[in-house]
Structure 1
């Protein structure tokens, strides 16, 4: 985005900052950053907005909390809904009411499915645009997979939370090891609140020697995992509290690396995976369906699936293309805002 605008980033935490040397974020060191910002540091934010032409906020729930402050600064605000803010959060009556009365200059979502779900909760005249989250293709080298044989290595990388569907990965893998490939292995990278429960499930399934929980990984180890594993699995589900994915970027990254991906018909995932053409889809929470996807790899043209996966990401999820689309939408917002000047370079927050 810095290729199009003078951008300043305000955030509450920073990860992998070395991978983005051009960004120097302003970190607000509070445990509950945004609420404290709103209640006791309004002056701070308003000072940051003095020379700003557009405030762009990731997560609609945060944007809702900032709306009153930003409205007094007489600048447009856009927001990007990414998952929980367009799913579980909508079960809260107050949140839905505030959304319905919101005055965002525009709303962005990361899938057509999310747009369909969110639009009824927005003011009828509010612009809502699909802007996919792209990935930097140069960071994810393509390695064509040609076939699947015994000793296959499955990989899931995710937060260990309900919507990631890890328990269904484990149960499908149990059947796969018992009926198809006794030498298969499963690597699960990531951490989260379900870790202990999942480890107990692995033990009860008698899979402790086949499954390796390796915890959180750094960027280089992450790339090596994508490079060396055979099949990526990410069976997203709708959690009991309504929490849903948007369109998981990690699936894009695995496909860019040429990995056959097994996932679910959940949220925006079918906008990325074309079943049996560049990956495999099962229904949510369908262990038998996931198992069928696993054994289908033996009969599939894995080389074509691998190539098609990379091609799909190149065509629709290359970050150079997606950033250009998002920047164009933002330019329209600035140009059509009553107080915005179209004669000077925009500064965004």
Structure 2
């Protein structure tokens, strides 16, 4: 009888159908063990929640997690095979899939499994937030003034022994500089492999932070000066859009961490703040390994022209004070006579 053979074939066909249903992300051998980077806005965002639960993956998170766990077992074998045959599907670049080995389980936790007063719950996702920017304006290497979403990974983070630090050495604290005269701003850095500066008009935040062979952040610094108005001790934070000087330092300085920029023709008389802004090659603020640390940047306050609005006003004020003093002296002298 053929009935047992037909029944066996039917069962096998049903088993294959189930297997295909639970592994929807396979894309040939090159896709085994990988989660594809989809651009569909509803792939991982269905049922988003950013309330107390902070679940980003929504209703698809469990499905994605199941797919990942199902395919991980064959991923390593396939990856080894690809490496042996020269297949670049699993290379660090040139593919559109997330290697299952790179999924970080820490992103599945809110951090509040044991609630702690004063702490917020973290957003969560089972697949490294690879579709976090779906449906939004992406940064795409540009400086988008209206705001954007950047999906590039953060990158390599240095050890605590290679954290970045900086101190401004010029101008000095409270130093008064002559108005309209060229001066130099200098900052001594530590832990920064300076001199790497990408095209900010086309590669802004477009690549991850990287480290050199010594474990130091590869990047550069920026030096910016803002006018503080009529006081060195303002109580209102300055407008970040407004600055009187800005320079991205794209060289390695003296080779020992000392970086500088020239303020040609100086500044008008006034009260100022100069700050460093240390960045990775693609201009993102440097990322450090621990939260509790010293700051990686420095700021300094200084004056120009004794802090007056301009040099002419300062001269007039000095002259007026001198005249008033002389007049008072003569009057007292006459009275004494």
Task: State the TM-score, normalizing by the size of structure 2.
Answer: 0.24
More helix by share: 1
More strand by share: 2
Task: State the TM-score, normalizing by the size of structure 1.
Answer: 0.23
Asked which structure has the greater CA Rg, the reply is: 2
